[in-house]
Amino acid sequence: MSSWQVQLKNSYRSIAQVITDYPHLSERLNTLLDVEKKYPIFIPKRIMDKISEDIDGNISNQFLPQLGELSPDGLYDPIGDIKNSPVNRLVHRYENRVLFFPTSKCPINCRYCFRKNEISSIDQIFSKDDEAIEYLKTHPLINEIIFSGGDPLILTDDQLDKHLESFSGIDHIKQIRFHTRFPTIIPDRIDTDFLSILSKYKGRFEFIFVIHTNCVQELDEEVKLSLTKLSCDYTTLSQSVILKDINDSSESFYQLSQALLDLNIRPYYAHFPDDVLGAQHFKITKDKAHQVHSELRQRISGHSLPVFIFENSSNTSKEYV
Ligand code: SF4
């Protein structure tokens, strides 16, 4: 078993487990047991160590349960994935690209996740692509497949290889994009075996990585090393969610953007939080997002400024700042 798989296997799956190893957090964690019943925790040890060092910090606030999750407000499927899904595990919203969901599993449960209601109700890795392949074959304008999830890098290298092999038989598919949070959560996932799979398909596909990261505190030395392994050979971009009291300031985005640019990663998207059931406490106002964006553009050149996006379930086009 690879190091990253061991770390996944040893991740914390309950508050009781966390309290056993971090008894000094018990008073705080015992208040969150009702939240855990609705939205389970899943936290790798290296992240739990960071949480333990700063229980009110930006890492903790993204991954530890919060009482705000029990609010009845918000939508189950806030961006309309379900109604834009022509066949199982594909979302086709735009002409040239599809989202492909090979798994519903993630290396961590982000408390703000816009798919938190779907993800908490299923726990699967899928292996057969038959339906998706048939759909893709009959839609020649699709040239890009976006591997999403869950997190696609939770698949084993063999499973990823099989998906890539299947898609390589469709001539009009030119680009494969991976949306992933792995490098900032379990950076060991970017190992030589994984890089070998990418190399195998390098002449066939253009690979693009979109790294999910929300604040500079996530970018420790291990994470930076793992990101550099990707960005030295592949187009690597970032996406973030603007979260209340975590990164909702131009200073926070400025620091993150500078650190990413140093790693040859271009800031790409900053998502306004969706109207998610169980994540309303992360929401900021549109005015606040506009303010952060306009302050940021004073400090960062346009080519490195993330695009601020609003999305909702009732439209198929995004609203850009
Ligand atoms: S890694 Fe992405 S899909 Fe998974 S819980 Fe976090 S935000 Fe959601």
Looking at residue 118, its pLDDT comes to 74
Measured in angstroms, how far is the CA atom of residue 170 from the centroid of ligand 1? 29
Mean pLDDT of 42-65: 97
Tell me what pLDDT residue 314 has: 55
Mean pLDDT of the chain: 92
Q: Is residue 78 part of a domain?
A: no
Q: Could you tell me if residue 80 is inside a domain?
A: no
> Is residue 148 domain-shared with residue 94, that is, in the same domain?
yes
Residue 76 lies in a domain: no
| Interval 116-129 mean pLDDT | 65
Report CA(121)–ligand 1 centroid distance (Å): 14
Say whether both 46 and 130 belong to one domain: no
Q: Give the pLDDT score at 127.
A: 62
Statement to judge: residues 43 and 143 lie in one domain? no
Q: Would you give the distance in Å from CA 121 to the centre of its chain?
A: 18
pLDDT of residue 81: 66
C-alpha distances (whole Å) from 306 to each of 68, 284, 309 are 28, 17, 9
CATH of the domain at 305: 3.20.20.70
75 lies in some domain: no
Give the pLDDT score at 123. 52
Mean pLDDT calculated for residue range 246-250 = 96
Let me know whether 124 and 194 are in one domain: yes
Are 134 and 173 contained in the same domain?
yes
User: Residue 87: which pLDDT band, with cuts at 50, 70 and 90?
Assistant: confident
Question: What's the DSSP call for residue 122?
Answer: -
Q: Report the distance separating Cα 172 and Cα 58, nearest Å.
A: 42
Residue minimizing CA distance to atom 7 of ligand 1: 113
Ligand 1 pocket: which of 61, 91, 106, 214 to mutate (most atoms within 8 A of CB): 106
Q: Over 90: is that where the pLDDT of 316 sits? A: no
Residue 317 has pLDDT above 90, yes or no: no
Structural domain tally of the chain? 2
Reading the block at residue 142, the tokens are: 């699709």
Ligand 1 atom with least separation from CA of 185: 1
177-216 tens-digit pLDDT: 999 999 999 999 999 999 999 999 999 999 999 999 999 9
Q: Are residues 54 and 131 in the same domain?
A: no
Same domain, 106 and 173: yes
Q: What are the tens digits of pLDDT across the range 127-150?
A: 667 889 999 999 999 999 999 988
Please state, as a whole number, how many other Cβ atoms lie within 10 Å of the Cβ of residue 307. Answer: 14
* pLDDT value of position 85: 82
The verdict on 36 and 132 lying in the same domain is: no
Q: Ligand 1, from 113, 210, 243: best to mutate by most atoms within 8 Å of Cβ?
A: 113
Give the per-residue pLDDT at 298: 96
Single out the residue of 80, 89, 20 nearest to residue 48, CA to CA.
20
Same-domain check for residues 279 and 316 = yes
Q: Mean pLDDT throughout 23-52?
A: 96
Distance between terminal CA atoms of the chain?
A: 45
Q: Is residue 40 pLDDT above 60, yes or no?
A: yes
Q: How far is the CA of 104 from the centre of ligand 1 (A)?
A: 9
Does residue 84 sit within a domain? no
The range of the structural domain enclosing residue 207 comes to: 90-320
